[in-house]
Each structure stands twice: as structure tokens, then as C-alpha cells.
Structure 1
Amino acid sequence: MRIDPGDNSANILDIVIDPGKIGEFAGITQMEGTSSLIADQDGYGLGFLNTISVNEDGKILGVFSNGTVRVLAQILVATFNNPTGLLRVGDNMFDISANSGAPIIDEPGSAIQSKIMSGVLEQSNVDLAEEFTRMIIAQRGFQANARVITASDEFLQEITNLKR
């Protein structure tokens, strides 16, 4: 690679980067000199990302094949002074409005009293027993109304027959 330092000098820098070959201790390595003997290791060996987990503080942890666990990211939680003022944009998503106020963003478990529950299946927010009971009550009400209509129809037919 040739680099012009840009200071109007005639000297152009020639830089050679030798990444080496896989399996050899040549080129760019973490070893000093050209020795191929590793006398001591300072650090972790090569590790691949095996699994990802999320703790209740919202930290996304990566578990690597060499036994190390690293924080990869952090989930933040937002709350609003007036959550009912958020604008519904569809697909269970909301947007900020002037009525909702500015979001207060913080880590779970801190000033915002919330926790992240990893590996938990979210169930519907509907109480099935209560909704089933309401459905039965509505069905019974419909049946009662249908009987009233039938009875009033029979009553009107009887009146019509008496008139003749």
C-alpha cells in the first residue's frame, strides 16, 4: 500500500501488511518475534458464540465456547407520564405524542420499577374464564330475548284471531 503523507514531501510511504497464513505463526500474530513455541497464554482461547440469554436487568449475555460470558447489549425501558396519551400506530405499536410527554428511558430494575423476564411465553392479556362466562351470559340473554319475541308474536296472533 502506498500512502502520500500530504506534506508536499517527495517521500511516499510504502506499507506492507502481512496477515500471515492460517495455522502458522507468521505475519500479524499476538506473538513476539518469529518463535512458534507458545510458552504461556495470557488471555482466553478462541471462542465462538454458543448461546444468548437475557437477564432481568435487560442485559443480553453471550455465552462463548471457551467459557467466557460477555455482556453484548442492554435493553432499555421507557415509561411516560401519560401512557394513555400515546398514539396507536397499529400492530401493537405506539408513538409519542404531545399528550403522552417525553419518554423516561432507564435500565430495567432501576428508577423504572420493571424487570425483563427471559424465556417466558407471553400469554394473552384476556382472562379466558371471565370471557367465557360473559359469552354464556350473552348467549342466555339472546335466548331469553328470542323467547320474548316468540311469545309476543304468539300473543299478537291470538289477538288477531280474536278480532275475526
Structure 2
Amino acid sequence: MKALYIASTGMSAQERNVEVISNNIANMRTTGYKRQRAEFQDLLYQAYRRAGSATSDSGTQVPVGIEIGSGVKLAATARVMTQGNVVPTEKELDIAIRGEGFFVVALPDGRTAYTRDGTFERDSTGLLVNVDGFQIEPGIIIPSEATAVSISRDGMVEAYLNNDSIPVQLGQIQMARFVNKGGLESIGDNLFLETPASGDAQIGFPGSQGMGALLQGYLENANVNAVTEMADLIAAQRAYEMNARVISGADQMMQATAQLR
């Protein structure tokens, strides 16, 4: 009975849906996290009678055919790249992006990654790095004698050395944007990689070429809405239960057929 297989695809799809929702909820407090949404497609159809087929020699046609579907599949887990809430942290090396763009991160293996997480620190040499110690492009070194660091909206990094009243420019933070940012590959650690679907990275500076502005002393929260996720979770659970009922109903029908004499 095809209903068993069709319902099983529905249960499998909703199981994946719950996994996506649970990952969103788990990352509610992850800086710069962008929520995902499960998207589904129906499977192939078996046509028992095609619409438009002839029903007589006079040219009459079937207005509506008979098609039975094969179930559902998970087609994509699209990432929703909307802006998260920006909150103050009072930490001078925390930076939030208001608008488009990603920070550019140099990975130890030579690859370039991109992130919305602006939780930055200084390493032992004074180099500006993320929480994993990966360099933020371009390499900006903050001297050990710096008493204060200033980061402007356009990414210019300045430091006050010792008791000087005039800051010294250390460099300007780069940013990247993509034609299809939803096509970026997630590799964990709040990092994304460029893919053929995302298009090439367009490198520029904050506040120009469509890039957003930087806010020093702020971080961007995840764009996860707890109420929305809970509502989606309940809907997924009910859909799973209804598919399970279909399997139970199909089993009862098969049992009744087997008991016929």
C-alpha cells in the first residue's frame, strides 16, 4: 500500500524540520547566527489518467486527470539573513555590523571565511583576531602601549598610545558582500565559506559599496524569534503525528484485507 511509503516520507521530512528548528533554538544566544528554514517539495506523481486525454472520437477531453503523489522531500534549509538585534557590550573590541556585509577572516589553512560575529580580541602579538585566534583582514596590530582603541563607522582603527591626545591610525577593517549570501556554506564557529552559488566575494570598506556601518562596543544577536520557532515546532509535531496516523490507518486497512475470507 503506497500510503505507508507516502506517510513515511512525511514523517522523515518533519523529523528534519524539527532538527532545523531545534538548531535555531539552540543558537538563540549565538552572536551573529542566522536562522534556517526548512523548505519542502513534493515527489514524483503517477498519472493514472492524464488531463487533456481524449474521451471520444468527437474530440472531447478529460478536464482533470488522476495523479497520485509519492510524498514529500526536504529540498533546502534556506538561511534567513535578516538583521539581528544590536546590543551594547561596553567592550571596545566588540563590533556589530548594521546593514549588509561580513567580516573577512583568514583561516590557518589559507582559506578565507566570512562572519557576522564581531567578538574580537588581541593575540599575544597585538594582532586583531576572532575568538578562535583567526586573523581579521587586513592584519591590524594594536601596540601593547595602546591605552584605548577607537573603531569608526567606516572601519578605521585608531589607538591612543601612552598618554598621547592624538590617536594613531592602525588600519581599516575590510568587509565582504555577496550577490546571494544565502548560498554561503556554513562550516560552524560562526563562519561561512564562499561557494559557486553565493558568487564571488565583493571586498570593500564599511559604509561604501553597499556595505553596512560598524558599531564599536556592540554585538549582533541571533535573528531567532523564540515565539516563531515554538509555533513552527508545534506545527511540525502535529504534522508528524498526522503522518503517523496515516501509517496506522493504512496498517488497519491492510489487516482488514488480510482477514477477508
TM value normalised by structure 2: 0.34
Higher relative contact order structure (alpha carbons within 8 Å, sequence separation ≥ 6): 2
Q: Which has the larger radius of gyration?
A: 1
With the length of structure 1 as denominator, give the TM-score of the two structures: 0.49
